[in-house]
Chains A and B, each alone.
Chain A
Amino acid sequence: MSYFSEIYNGIKTLLTGMSVTGKYFLNARKGVITQQYPDNRETLKMFDRFRGEVIMPHDDQNEHRCTGCQKCEIACPNGTIEIIWDRGIDEETGKKKKKIDQFVYHLSLCTMCGLCIDVCPTDAIEWGQNFENSVFDRTHLTRVLNKPGSKLAPGVED
């Protein structure tokens, strides 16, 4: 007798399983969870805190906020950031002050840990939201974050 009850219970469980997938099949039009990626670029919006790449925002007068304190270079675990700096004469006070020449950022090495942005005292760098960074030539991934001809915004101290 347990032979037949085994068969009956077995078939019942199989039909229950089929009802679950069948329900998803019937709602297949509206219930897709995938996005048709290259087609939806216009409406795609990432979250605010999304970690795409590190950028240095410049304001309208082409000024940035990086004083060259090198705290980000020390905090970075694998040498992604290299700051080429020099001592120059500050216009307002006339004293010698650190100035950055180039803020080199190796996107190919970056692990997106966020320690550099966390430790920066002047909020000079922040997260950008661009994630389509593939290039054909690897040297294009080594970026210089401060734009040519830009200088430190006045009044920023570290």
Chain B
Amino acid sequence: MTIDIIINSHLWFAANTAEGSLSILEMVVIALIYLGIFSVAGLFLVLLERRVAAWFQLRVGPNRVGFQGLLQTMADALKLVSKELTGTSKADMFLYNLAPYFVIISSLMALAVLPFTNEFQAFDINIGIFFLIAISSIGVIGVLLGGWSSNNKFALIGAMRSGVQTISYELSVGLSLLTMILLTGTLQLSEIVDVQKDGWLIVQGHIPAIIAFMIFMISGTAETNRAPFDMVEAESELGAGFHTEYSGMKFAYFFLAEFINMFIIAAIAATVFFGAWLSPFGITESIPWLGVFWFLGKTLALVFLMMWFRWTFPRLRVDQLLTLEWKYLLPINLVNIVIMALMVWLNLIIRV
């Protein structure tokens, strides 16, 4: 039914506007819809994190505002919006104001290419995975700018640590995704999902795929600066890291961007490893719109895994972070690519 609405509105637009502005108008409308859905989704992710954290810690979590606490983040967002936007006088005002926008824009742009179902994908470009990895790298600029322009020693230390961490772990993210691209032969996301109709990629490339999945989860958690790699914003060490000097809406941008990044990493893992909207043995093939629920279910399961990591493990020191990447993850990744290439060449893939 949604497809009919979309097709009808497309025809209505086509009948009423000029040629060039049609596609621009459509793009603006879709962008606004996505913005609306995902800002709210980001808020609900925050609430989910708080309740899951509470259950790990034998408490209840926010359950008073609204039914079971569903309106809690709305209340928090309202509070953040109404706060005074302070700033230090010695801060570099232009960069200080610019920094949060880098972070939030790069997160929201990456959402455009995720395949929710067969038809429900905003952009199906032929360099899908490459686009995703490239966009996530832009977020680093925002962090570094934020730390530098705050004119605060703590923020600077935090920003420098974050910069070095993100740059190192992007390598591992890219290489582990490359391992799976060897199986699919294409970077386009919808075709990656099509290849998985013979069985999810994690089943098709058995051992190297599992190793690639583990490496991807570890580096993905490190990319988004979450525990156990959250030295950057180590709350019990340096105050609040690079966003110490931000308050109000700008802080909300940083905060929201972190959660949306987490969602994106989980969504990429769900797409590439677990077959985005495909059901396990093709059980609900006949009802295509159920694909959204399968996609969200897999993504939320991986988000839960990342939250489990956060509330269990101590954090790694900065030099141990870098040792982990350069001495352990990178060599294993490279060897894994070779093994996967051998498997594809010798056709040792499991097809279901």
Contact = CB atoms under 8 A, between A and B. Distances in A.
A/B touching: CB–CB < 8 A: yes
Interface of A: 7, 14, 17-18, 20-22, 24-25, 28, 31-34, 36
A18 B59 contact: no
A28 B309 CA distance: 17
B313 interface: yes
Given A17-B312, A21-B311, A32 B60 contact: yes
Contact of A21 (B54, B59, B308, B328): B308
B123 interface: no
A17 B55 CA distance: 16
Interface in B53-78: 54-60
A62 to B, nearest CB: 43
Given A7-B328, A28-B55, A34 B60 contact: yes
Contacts of A32: 58-60
A39 to B, nearest CB: 10
Nearest to B58: A33
B18 to A, nearest CB: 56
A18 B308 contact: yes
A102 to B, nearest CB: 43
Contact of A14 (B58, B59, B313, B328): B313
A18 B312 contact: yes
A112 B313 CA distance: 41
Contacts of A7: 328
B56 A33 contact: no
Nearest to B57: A24
Contacts of A25: 52, 55-56, 308
Name the prevailing secondary structure of the A interface residues: helix
B94 to A, nearest CB: 44
A22 B304 CA distance: 11
Given A7-B328, A25-B55, A32-B59, 11 more contacts: A17-B312, A17-B313, A18-B312, A21-B308, A24-B58, A25-B52, A28-B55, A32-B58, A32-B60, A33-B59, A34-B58
Given A7-B328, A14-B313, A21 B60 contact: no
Contacts of A18: 308-309, 312
Contacts of B313: 14, 17
Contacts of A33: 58-59
Contacts of A24: 55-58
A107 to B, nearest CB: 30
A28 B312 CA distance: 15
B176 to A, nearest CB: 16
Counting from the closest, the 3 A-B pairs by CB-CB distance are: A28-B55, A21-B312, A34-B59
Interface string B305-333: 00011011100000000000000100000
B58 A21 contact: no
30 contacts: A7-B328, A17-B312, A17-B313, A18-B308, A18-B312, A20-B312, A21-B56, A21-B308, A21-B311, A21-B312, A22-B308, A24-B55, A24-B56, A24-B57, A24-B58, A25-B52, A25-B56, A25-B308, A28-B54, A28-B55, A28-B58, A31-B58, A32-B58, A32-B59, A32-B60, A33-B59, A34-B58, A34-B59, A34-B60, A36-B60
A20 B313 CA distance: 11
Interface in B21-75: 52, 54-60
A38 B313 CA distance: 34
Contacts of A36: 60
B22 to A, nearest CB: 50
Interface in B281-313: 308-309, 311-313
